[in-house]
Amino acid sequence: MEKRTAEPVREHAAPRSGRAGLDDLLIQAITGAGAHIGTVYLLADDGRVLLMDVQLGMPEPIAMSWARLRVGDPILVSRAVREDRLVWVSGREELARQFPSAALSLPYHFAAAVSPIRGGGRVWGALLLVWPAGYSHTLSREQREVIDASSAALARLLQREADRGEPITPGPRPRILNPGPARAADTASQLIALQAFNRLPEGYCSIDVEGRISLITAPAAEMLSVYTSELQGERLGEALPWLDDPLYEDLYRSAVVSGRVTAFTARHPSGRLVTFRLFPGLTGVTLRITPGGQDHDPAERPPPHEIGQPTRIIALHEMLHLATTLARAVTAQEVVDLVADHVMPVYDVQALAILTAKGGRMRVAASRGYTRQAVAELDGQPEIPPPPGWRPYDATRPAFFESWDELRETYPDAVASDDMKAWAFLPLVTSGRPIGTCVLAYDRPHRFDSDERATLTALAGLIAQAFERARLYDVKHQLAQCLQSSLLPRTLPEIPGLDLAARYVPATPGMDIGGDFYDLIRLSDTQAAAVIGDVQGHDVTAAALMGQVRTAVRAHATAGASPGEVLAHTNRLLIELAPDRFTSCLYVSIDLERHTACLASAGHLPPLLGRPGAPTRVVDSTPGLLLGIDPEAEYAVLDVGLPPGSVLVLYTDGLIEQPGLDLGDAIRHLAERFNPTEDGPLPALADSLIDPGAQEQRIDDCAVLLLRPAATGP
């Protein structure tokens, strides 16, 4: 494809007003900078969203997928607006390093520049220009001048229209610029050109920027077994179902976005092969159609349906699927497992590991495919220093070694674990800081082409984000778990005449820590108090507040307050400490001499009272308001008989909550399956209340406290 150079900056005629002027300036920017695709984004009124208003040269499906961008997104266009500067990427590998998600969505070779449209003291939007990859490693001075002048002209136009009271606002869909209908003289020229092409043995077809056929020659229609009138104005894949394949669509997009000639061979319904060569240009694509096997470059892509190795579109699908599933990973090993499941089969990788560094030594955070011996050899090895010949050394750039000799040449002290023969070292970088390295290993020499290097580089960005998220989760989870376990009682006091058992079960791994708590307080030789509660929230704050509530209850209980007074005092304290957090709480005072219990509830679930040989009873108290709502709230008390051998069950909602099950029904079901026996050990009875199957999918933590006065008394 002929390389176009940037035109020198010159004074253009004053642009037309309104959108027509915007379109003129976009076309001038594309042609002046020598680009082949251009778009104008405008900021929405809220200043947080960029909307594509007009574009030229971009396939419509791609334009629609990038039509709406948030300013905070890690995207090329968003960064230019957010940082108010020109942003340039020279090719797909650089795009993959800086914007991995964009590189996966646009797996084509191109260079791009984005300039904010600034004027009148504000940013109006952004101008995006695209060139074929390899066009240049940097923008030339002339190109920068064209981009700066075009951005300034766009800003002046937008300001002028706003001052006139007719601001240009983006529509619901991006507008696609098209040359428009031909004039009569142009029609005559087009007819002459069509007659000339009809004399050639191969077929030709012209597709406009919207992907519709604008011209097709008679030989092309004959090879496709259709009439020209059947294709005119239609999309090729819609008019010919045998070409409606994602593989062919991907090659078409690749030609348009990258500005490179691409080719593919497809099988006609009659069984013969037809070869298509795509020549992209500013206003569309020209297809050259020949019988399969004729004029076919062996280096070009073979028939997609006859390919044995995974194609790029399959790899792309796997990467996009991986990007979605990685959001669920909460540990380093889960990250590796998901990456291994999606990457190793597609790229025929034999081993994968994530390495971190601590104290100057490598640590294997997680691995797949390596033997235990290999992991042991890697773990604890000194960090590999940068190769002496690399100046300047960039720890954020990936490294690919296609053979053992190539690796040893760069790193003479390298060790080949499990007799691997080729490697990809992908730095995991977040916020510009390396946090580790993902190693892909092959059991044979492997050639990394440019597509694979770019895709794996983008993959590293996805892994880095997921791995950092997993590390932060681990730290946060361990902190909250440590805080909560330190605030719960390590042991409960032994009180003569009172048997007890307690259980605490955290939520399913992956959920945050909650605020469930319990306690047993010795008030005298014959009196004790039991408390159970649940602080709103599943975070460190809830765990810390739980400790404060438990301490307050203990302080007021030991001071001799009645159950209602204990809750009232704790309620006022909670409102002062955390006015936006609520807590349910059940407080029970037990008199072992009189065999009675006095309880008060702050919105907590009713306790159960079970006796051997009798149905378990739900103790219906009158619960008051949750703690933390009303400083003047009062809490009624209820006296309950607690005969020797009976068992009082206190619990939190995590024990019984199930999606779709009414809370009242859940409490009744719990009472029905609670059957204490005369001499049954309380720890086993507590365990029986916790359903092992439900425990694996528990969405909330739960606490259980069982109390049984001994038959002989204290």
Q: According to the model, what pLDDT value does residue 191 have?
A: 65
Burial zone of 66 (CB within 10 Å; 0-12 exposed, 13-18 middle, 19+ buried): buried
DSSP, res 269? T
Give the angle 515-518-520 at the CA atoms, nearest 5°: 155
The answer to whether 491 and 461 have CB atoms below 8 angstroms apart is no
φ, ψ of residue 392 to 5 degrees: the values are -80, 150
CA distances from 427 to 248, 346, 350, 507 (A): 33, 20, 19, 34
Per 3-state DSSP, what percentage of the chain is helix, strand, and coil (rounded to 5)?
Answer: 35, 25, 35
The span from the CA of 253 to the CA of 448, in Å, is 23
Among 669, 560, 547, CA closest to 608: 669
Tokens read off for 125: 């939007």
The span from the CA of 640 to the CA of 196, in Å, is 103
The span from the CA of 607 to the CA of 309, in Å, is 64
In sign, the C-alpha dihedral spanning 623, 628, 633, 636 is positive
Among 394, 360, 384, CA closest to 439: 384
N- to C-terminal Cα distance for the chain? 97
The answer to whether 588 and 635 have CB atoms below 8 angstroms apart is no
Among 659, 618, 359, 335, CA closest to 466: 335
The span from the CA of 100 to the CA of 455, in Å, is 8
Q: According to the model, what pLDDT value does residue 511 have?
A: 45
φ, ψ of residue 443 to 5 degrees: the values are -85, 15
Provide DSSP, 599-628: EEEEBPPPPEEE-TTS--EE-----BPPBT
Among 346, 26, 299, CA closest to 174: 26
The answer to whether 405 and 423 have CB atoms below 8 angstroms apart is no
Among 514, 516, 553, 499, CA closest to 651: 516
Among 366, 362, 343, 346, CA closest to 440: 343
Q: Please compute Rg for the chain using Cα positions.
A: 36
Q: Which residues pair with 596 in a beta bridge?
A: 591, 641
- Residue 202 has a CB neighbour count (10 Å cut-off) of 17
- Residue 268 has a CB neighbour count (10 Å cut-off) of 16
Tokens read off for 207: 């597709």
Ramachandran bin of 476, using left for φ above 0, alpha for ψ from -120 to 50, beta for the remaining angles: alpha
In order along the chain (714 residues), what is the average pLDDT of each group of 10 residues?
A: 48 68 91 90 89 89 84 88 92 79 76 92 93 76 92 94 90 76 50 67 82 83 82 83 79 81 87 89 83 54 38 54 68 80 80 85 86 86 66 70 89 82 89 84 89 81 82 71 70 90 73 74 93 81 78 92 94 85 93 94 95 91 89 94 94 84 88 87 89 56 91 52
Q: According to the model, what pLDDT value does residue 354 have?
A: 87
Amino acid at 577: L
- Residue 47 has a CB neighbour count (10 Å cut-off) of 11
CA distances from 391 to 384, 388, 394, 408 (A): 16, 8, 8, 18
Q: According to the model, what pLDDT value does residue 195 have?
A: 67
Q: Is 712 helix (H, G, I), strand (E, B) or coil?
A: coil
The answer to whether 162 and 117 have CB atoms below 8 angstroms apart is no
Tokens read off for 145: 């001048």
At 503, which helix (H) or strand (E)? strand 498-505
Q: Is 444 helix (H, G, I), strand (E, B) or coil?
A: coil
- Residue 432 has a CB neighbour count (10 Å cut-off) of 6
The answer to whether 344 and 331 have CB atoms below 8 angstroms apart is no
φ, ψ of residue 399 to 5 degrees: the values are -130, 135
The answer to whether 422 and 402 have CB atoms below 8 angstroms apart is yes
Give the angle 325-329-330 at the CA atoms, nearest 5°: 160
Amino acid at 75: I
Sequence-separated (6 or more) residues with CB below 8 Å from residue 448: 400, 402, 424, 456
Cis peptide before 392 (omega within 30 of 0): yes
- Measured in residues, the chain has a length of 714
The span from the CA of 458 to the CA of 319, in Å, is 9
Question: What's the order of all strands across the beta sheet hosting 527-535?
Answer: 515-522, 527-535, 583-591, 596-602, 637-641
Q: Which residues pair with 41 in a beta bridge?
A: 52, 126
